[in-house]
């Protein structure tokens, strides 16, 4: 794909479409189950910028900011937003189903908690992405499909 994505004779819109169709699905495989910490989010954003810089053939020695590269490519950062949207959609499906996955996602297991700082859960990341509210509010909103779709659409539009 390198020859297609870096070819100057192909329009940038076509190359961005090829990136979106062939590369991003491989990159995001299984993203519905990821816990995205700030460190992982930074790495995903860096990967997205790396792809754009390679497509535009901008060397690392060129002192162009990421914002300038995004303007040149006429693109917004979207990788993390797409992953969060997929996670929220999958969470709605799992919560309405109410099987074993529901127990795993909500963390309602019997037994001892591990020592030390508790790990970040998928629900914590989605709660911050969807806006102000508690995890219990989100679990209640999942039951109503229309409300849940509206919440996801609003959070996606805001680009948080």
pLDDT of residue 47: 94
Dihedral sign for Cα 115, 119, 121, 127, please.
positive
Report the alpha-carbon angle 131-121-84, nearest 5. Answer: 50
Instruction: Report which of 120, 98, 111 is spatially closest to residue 129, judged by C-alpha positions.
Output: 120
Query: How far from the centroid of its chain's Cα atoms is residue 43's Cα?
Result: 12
Q: To which H or E segment does residue 137 belong?
A: helix 135-142
Q: What string of pLDDT tens digits covers the 160 residues of the chain? A: 888 888 889 999 999 999 999 999 999 999 988 888 899 999 999 999 999 999 999 988 898 999 999 999 999 998 999 999 998 898 888 888 877 776 666 666 667 777 888 777 777 778 888 877 777 778 888 888 898 888 888 888 886 5
């Amino acid at each position: 794909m390198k020859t297609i994505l870096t070819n100057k004779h192909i329009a940038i819109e076509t190359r961005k479409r090829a990136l979106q169709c062939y590369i991003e699905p491989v990159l995001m495989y299984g993203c519905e189950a990821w816990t995205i910490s700030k460190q992982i989010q930074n790495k995903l954003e860096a990967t997205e910028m790396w792809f754009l810089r390679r497509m535009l053939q901008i060397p690392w020695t060129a002192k162009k900011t990421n914002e300038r590269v995004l303007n040149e490519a006429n693109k917004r950062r979207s990788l993390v937003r797409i992953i969060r949207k997929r996670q929220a959609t999958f969470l709605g499906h799992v919560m309405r189903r109410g099987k074993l996955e529901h127990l795993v996602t909500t963390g309602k297991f019997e037994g001892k908690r591990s020592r030390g700082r508790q790990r970040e859960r998928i629900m914590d990341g989605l709660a911050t992405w969807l806006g102000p509210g508690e995890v219990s509010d989100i679990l209640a909103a999942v039951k109503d499909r229309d409300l849940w779709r509206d919440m996801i659409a609003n959070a996606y539009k805001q680009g948080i």
